[in-house]
Amino acid sequence: MSLVALCSAGASPGVTTTALALAAWWPRPALVVEADPSGGVLAARFGLEAAPGLLTLAAAARHGIGPEAVRDHAQTLGERLTVVVAPPGARRMAGALGAAASLVPALGALHGDVLVDAGRVDPAWALPALVGAASLVVVVARPRLDELRRLPDVLAALAEAGRPAALVLRGARPYPPRQVEEALGAVVAGVVPDSRAAGAFTGGGPGWGPGVPRFGYALQSLTSELAARVHPDATEHGGNGAAPTPRAARPAPSVEQEARW
Ligand SMILES: Nc1ncnc2c1ncn2[C@@H]1O[C@H](COP(=O)(O)OP(=O)(O)O)[C@@H](O)[C@H]1O
Ligand SMILES: [Mg+2]
């Protein structure tokens, strides 16, 4: 239905982790496609098979592929996430991403949304095909100077390419969203808590602990905001349901609360 690309301006702020966490709370069925030009990590992190994945999908796409065949190249991660894993290393990724443009029609025709982990975007180069075709590009950054200073170039490149962008921060320290917005003149769409709860999405552990309900509230609110940008007229319900269902009566914590974790 819609292609949402996630990327960073560099420095590994948590693009891959955020892609999985967003997919877990996404209010519609969501397929995660690993497309980081530097190579995939999901198979290694989560003990998945190397294939099927982006290589088999790209090979199939060279001969033309419909949306119904895309899922043949996906694997199940955990109970409900569905991912297309990428090969490790930039050399094999270059081969797979060479066919990325031919994937766009099939991905766009899927019943659910596609969250593409596009890795680092280099504003000096043309946008990768899956970023250039996205309805929304989520730029992930930690709110610290070295990462914030790289953002204007990437946001400008996306604006020049006519791609709507949403800036998402990992954590709110040392600079909370309001300060980031003032400094960059760009709106912060939301915050993914910098929390051990993210461990569930890094392959580093169950990620279960005191921060988990708050992580869930923050992700639920963020995914609603982002999904509304790609489906402005939709009433959201249903979805991957991989995440624990937060109690509706309790609002998502404010950014100031998140910052105290
Ligand atoms: N929301 C988060 N909270 C805490 N740690 C995180 C979070 N997101 C990512 N990390 C940490 O950062 C590391 C790199 O994350 P990853 O998603 O692989 O970054 P990228 O895809 O940008 O290179 C992870 O292994 C994890 O330890
Ligand atoms: Mg990554």
pLDDT tens across 2-39, in order? 999 999 999 999 999 999 999 999 999 999 999 999 99
Atom of ligand 1 nearest to the CA of 13: 22
- Side-by-side strand order, sheet with 113-120: 75-77, 81-84, 30-34, 113-120, 3-8, 136-141, 165-170, 188-192
Atom of ligand 1 nearest to the CA of 117: 21
Atom of ligand 1 nearest to the CA of 171: 1
**Which are the contacts of 141, defined by CB distance < 8 A and separation ≥ 6?**
8, 9, 13, 147, 148, 150, 151, 167, 168, 169, 170
Nearest alpha-carbon partner for 183 in 157, 138, 152:
152
Give me the pLDDT at residue 105, please.
94
pLDDT tens across 38-66, in order? 999 999 999 999 999 999 999 999 888 99
Q: Is 260 exposed, middle or buried (0-12, 13-18, 19+ CB in 10 A)?
A: exposed
Q: How far is the CA of 170 from the centre of ligand 1 (A)?
A: 9
77, 110 Cβ separation under 8 angstroms: no
Q: List all residues whose CB is within 6 A of at least one atom of ligand 1.
A: 8, 12-17, 170, 192, 194-195, 198, 202, 204
Ligand nearest to the CA of 39: 2
Q: How far is the CA of 58 from the centre of ligand 1 (A)?
A: 27
Q: How far is the CA of 168 from the centre of ligand 2 (A)?
A: 15
Q: Which CATH number fits domain 3-258: 3.40.50.300, 3.30.70.3270, 1.10.275.10, 3.30.450.20?
A: 3.40.50.300
Q: Is 183 exposed, middle or buried (0-12, 13-18, 19+ CB in 10 A)?
A: middle
Percent of the chain with pLDDT over 90: 80
- Name the phi and psi angles at 243, rounded to 5: -90, 150
190, 168 Cβ separation under 8 angstroms: yes
For residue 75, pLDDT over 60 is answered with: yes
- List the alpha helices (DSSP H) in 50-164: 54-61, 67-70, 90-97, 100-108, 129-132, 145-148, 151-160
Protein residue closest via CA to atom 13 of ligand 1: 14
For residue 93, pLDDT over 60 is answered with: yes
Protein residue closest via CA to atom 24 of ligand 1: 202
Protein residue closest via CA to atom 12 of ligand 1: 14
- Residue whose CB lies within 8 A of the most ligand 1 atoms, among 138, 202, 212, 215, for a mutation test: 202
Give me the pLDDT at residue 254, please.
33
Q: How far is the CA of 100 from the centre of ligand 1 (A)?
A: 25
For residue 206, pLDDT over 60 is answered with: yes
How far, in Å, are 27, 108, 177, 199, 248 from residue 202 at the CA level? 21, 27, 24, 5, 27
For residue 70, pLDDT over 80 is answered with: yes
Give me the pLDDT at residue 259, please.
28
pLDDT tens across 140-180, in order? 999 999 999 999 999 999 999 999 999 999 999 999 999 99
Q: Which residue has the higher pLDDT, 209 or 134?
A: 134
Give me the pLDDT at residue 256, please.
30
For residue 79, pLDDT over 50 is answered with: yes
Pairing assessment for the beta strands 81-84 and 188-192 based on DSSP bridges:
unpaired
Give me the pLDDT at residue 1, please.
83
**Which are the contacts of 233, defined by CB distance < 8 A and separation ≥ 6?**
none
Q: How far is the CA of 198 from the centre of ligand 1 (A)?
A: 8
pLDDT tier at 255, thresholds 50, 70, 90: very low
Ligand nearest to the CA of 200: 1
